[in-house]
Structure 1
Amino acid sequence: MTVDSTAPTRRRDRSHLLYIAVLIAMALGIAVGFLFPEFGKELRPLGTGFVNLIKMMIAPVIFCTIVLGVGSIRRAAQVGKVGGLALGYFLIMSTVALAIGLVVGNILKPGAGLHLTEALAATGKAQVAKDAEGATDFVLGIIPDTLFSSLTSGEVLQALLVALLVGFAVQALGARGEPVIRGIQAVQRVVFKILAMIMWLAPIGAFGAMAAVVGATGFDALKSLFTIMVGFYITCAIFVFVILGLLLRLFARLNVFRLFKYLAREFLLILSTSSSESALPRLIAKMGHLGVSRPVAGIVVPTGYSFNLDGTAIYLTMASLFIADAMDKPMSIGQQIGLLAFMIIASKGAAGVTGAGLATLAGGLQSHRPDLVPGVGLIVGIDRLMSEARALTNFAGNAVATVLVGKWTGEFDPAQAERVFSGEDPFDETTFSDEAHGEEEAPPPPTTEEKVPA
């Protein structure tokens, strides 16, 4: 009894110290950026390197999680049901987010009265390059060159496709696939342990990222763009706490604030790196621990990172209207509706990494309104700060989506969620694993019962 009560406390204390260090590092990075801007900009590789380390782990995490989830399900139809329901939900919510961005953009008109310089126009044109791709290229890009290149290319959808194929293959093998399941379970433990080790570099990454952005923009550079930035943040907050909060309360009977408190450390990580991908592996593990079944969490979370980018959707429409007004080329209602329809497609597949929203914006305007592309340069100065709200909103949307899809498919355990929220069953920060919740049920009968554990 004494040992049991001591061990969790020790783990919690270590993790707590880590995230206090992240907060201190962020404050120091802001101070360095203001006091020594040139030096601060030189520290950008620290933040970039940390995000790259996290991105390195995403494909293995997705592969292991989905293969174990799909491979343990008796009925392949369940995967199709979860995926179809998730994609339908993503499409609806992306459309709602885009529409909200258009409404707020029309009310605020933040770009009115601004003038575009030649330097900014040149910067905007440079953003397009090869980032614009058609629907056919996007679909073909989901197919990897080889089975194993999907784990090294950095493309989330490629890793997702191969993991699903391997999962279905293992499922079809039945009892003969059990050695594969056990082997991937062992690999998954190693992957999560590596991820836990990388997380101890978070303070260094946060320090470098914050010093670089403050050093590059400063305070004066943000004044003329203050309206759109504040408007964007408020719009994201309304979407998250009002719309998503209402959906979570109506369908899952959960309080959105309790859910976000449970995910507070992931939000802090995203805030310090401006990358929602940095928290993707942790979200999969935490949703499983919260009571969403492993297969559902393993399918909905990585799929949502490519198809459920609510923050990016809001950003795309608001930024498009901002640019149109700033260049004195306002769009009519008809043009805005056409842009909304186009952005529903353009926003899919945009990675949750800093700068991806800017590239998607440039690519979308290049295809739909090429005369507005030079105005993308007007956004460049604050895109890094706006990317934080995009990443936080994207993450919040995917967390809520995972719970809702789990509830609608009967793969969510409300009692487990209450135990987690009340602190009775804390998440194990040392392993990033939800094994504590389903540990006794999963290993003995992996074929029949694996569908149940959360």
Structure 2
Amino acid sequence: MSLTSHASAATTNVPRTRRPLWRHPNLLILIAAACGALVGWLDPKTGADSRVLADAFIGLVKMVIGPIIFLFISTGIAQVGDLRKVGRIGLKALIYFEVMTAMALCLGFVVGDVLRPGAGVAPPSGGLSGELAKYAAAPLTSSFGSVFFKIIPENFVGPFLHGDMLQILFIAVVFGIALVVSGEKGRPVTQALENLTTVFFKFTSIVMTFAPLGVFGAIGFTVGKFGLVTLIALGKLVLTAYFSMVLFVVIAFAIVCKLAGIRLLPILRYVRGELLLALATSSSESALPSLAVKLEQLGVGRAVVGLVLPTSYSFNLTGVALTMPLSVLFIEQVYGLHLSWTQQATIFGVMLLTSKGAAGVTGAAFVTLAGTVAATGLLPLQGLVLLLAVDRFMSEARAVINVIGNVIATIVVGKWEGEFDEATSLRVLAADKALR
């Protein structure tokens, strides 16, 4: 029996009661965020030091993500039992990812050219700091070949130790295929993995009880280290980034949902807890385990959730794709330069590749941005100093948009494949609205 079946049975047999307000995880996260901001404001040093709580929580989440991805994908493929269908799901997902990434990059360039967030900002003085030089020197994806060859791991255990999501995905797909071709002999292994999946999701629910502590540390660190002065000084860039993301949601995502025959607002309401967690921790990866459960409960097939959701965390980072053009144009405008349409098209092509290499953890997008700027050779690297100062603020919105994009991608591909139960979806969304 799948996790959805267990969840459905529980929903049927257990009376629906409202959870006491003081125990609601969303409220606890909001309280933790407010307390973290207060501590960071009153005592910046203590606030900055509280980052250890955020890092510890993210570490706990990353600890379970690898096994969950492996279990979810391998058992999902085994349940489908049709390798042609698995390949079809993967191909449709990759096409969708590339189209949405291109749309996000285009919108980022248009908004950056029109609103010009870098106009009037003074260029930074001095050379590259040691931290910035480290970012700029980070290895950069240069071709589709390098992306896909990087997926193949050197051994079975290494990807789980290093948290390499793409390599874990590769192992899970191959292992799932092996379960299918093993036939009857593979069924006991599949059943054992199903049972192990249930245990890991229980483990994840225990980890998520520490989310308020992680949020407290993340917000305390942000306010304590950067304060509000930096945000005000570079507020136009931050507001431009937020505006472009809101615009992408109300236009691009709304159109996609309309074409797919699904309603955007109820879905956003359904995953509001995960969106809040991503916003507070600046990490879309922190929401992955609970999203996997919620999407299957929503009526999306296990194979689709297992294949599309983890893959989208590397290939469908629309939040990253939106802010990368804005950041590049910001540097251009700060230094009073002018990138021709040809040069912008060149950067667009580079970003189609480099945006795939940003992981779902805080700071990875800046590494990708720095590598992109260094690779093009069209802009001064010193401009990254200003971006480094406000990247934390933009990363919060980036994480939210990444989560929204990944949820919608999973549902849309599920509908394309006939692996989306409309009746279950309507029932779950209605129950969720009633419990608000």
The TM-score, its normalising length taken from structure 2, stands at 0.93
Q: Which runs of 5+ in 2 are unaligned?
A: 1-9
Equivalent pair of 1:50/1:202 in contact (CA under 8 Å) = yes
Deviation at residue 112 of structure 1 after TM alignment: 1.6
Aligned to 1:84: 91
Aligned to 1:35: 42
Matches of 1:388 and 1:179 in 2, distance apart?
Answer: 43
Distance change in 2, residues 1:425/1:235 (3 Å): closer
Matches of 1:6 and 1:413 in 2, distance apart?
Answer: 21
Q: CA RMSD in A?
A: 2.1
Among 278, 293, 298, the alignment partner of 2:301 is 293
Matches of 1:411 and 1:93 in 2, distance apart?
Answer: 21
* Structural mapping, 1:239-388, within 5 Å: 239-251=248-260, 253-369=261-377, 371-388=379-396
Deviation at residue 286 of structure 1 after TM alignment: 1.1
> Which aligned runs of 4 or more in structure 1 are off by greater than 4 angstroms?
3-16, 424-427
Q: Which runs of 5+ in 1 are unaligned?
A: 428-454
Aligned to 1:163: 172
Percent identity, aligned pairs only, is: 37
Matches of 2:341 and 2:15 in 1, distance apart?
Answer: 57
Equivalent pair of 2:357/2:368 in contact (CA under 8 Å) = no
Deviation at residue 413 of structure 1 after TM alignment: 1.0
Deviation at residue 426 of structure 1 after TM alignment: 9.6
Deviation at residue 371 of structure 1 after TM alignment: 4.0
* Structural mapping, 1:218-229, within 5 Å: 218-229=227-238
* Structural mapping, 1:91-102, within 5 Å: 91-102=98-109
Deviation at residue 150 of structure 1 after TM alignment: 2.4
* Structural mapping, 1:192-211, within 5 Å: 192-211=201-220
Matches of 1:36 and 1:139 in 2, distance apart?
Answer: 46
Deviation at residue 385 of structure 1 after TM alignment: 0.8
Matches of 1:198 and 1:82 in 2, distance apart?
Answer: 31
Equivalent pair of 1:420/1:426 in contact (CA under 8 Å) = no
Opposite residue 376 of structure 1, the aligned amino acid is L
Equivalent pair of 1:324/1:331 in contact (CA under 8 Å) = yes
Provide, for residues 195-234 of structure 1, a one-character-per-residue CA deviation record: whole Å limited to 9, x for no partner: 1001111111111110110011111111221111111101
* Structural mapping, 1:225-236, within 5 Å: 225-236=234-245
Matches of 1:405 and 1:396 in 2, distance apart?
Answer: 14
Deviation at residue 74 of structure 1 after TM alignment: 2.5
* Structural mapping, 1:79-158, within 5 Å: 79-119=86-126, 121-122=128-129, 124-135=132-143, 136-158=145-167
Opposite residue 70 of structure 1, the aligned amino acid is I
Opposite residue 192 of structure 2, the aligned amino acid is G
Distance change in 2, residues 1:113/1:4 (3 Å): closer
Equivalent pair of 2:124/2:383 in contact (CA under 8 Å) = no
Distance change in 2, residues 1:53/1:14 (3 Å): farther
Equivalent residue pairs, number: 424
Distance change in 2, residues 1:36/1:425 (3 Å): closer
The TM-score, its normalising length taken from structure 1, stands at 0.89
Opposite residue 275 of structure 2, the aligned amino acid is F
Distance change in 2, residues 1:120/1:315 (3 Å): farther
Provide, for residues 63-114 of structure 1, a one-character-per-residue CA deviation record: whole Å limited to 9, x for no partner: 0000110012221000110000000010011000000000000001111222
Matches of 1:378 and 1:120 in 2, distance apart?
Answer: 12
Equivalent pair of 2:331/2:379 in contact (CA under 8 Å) = no
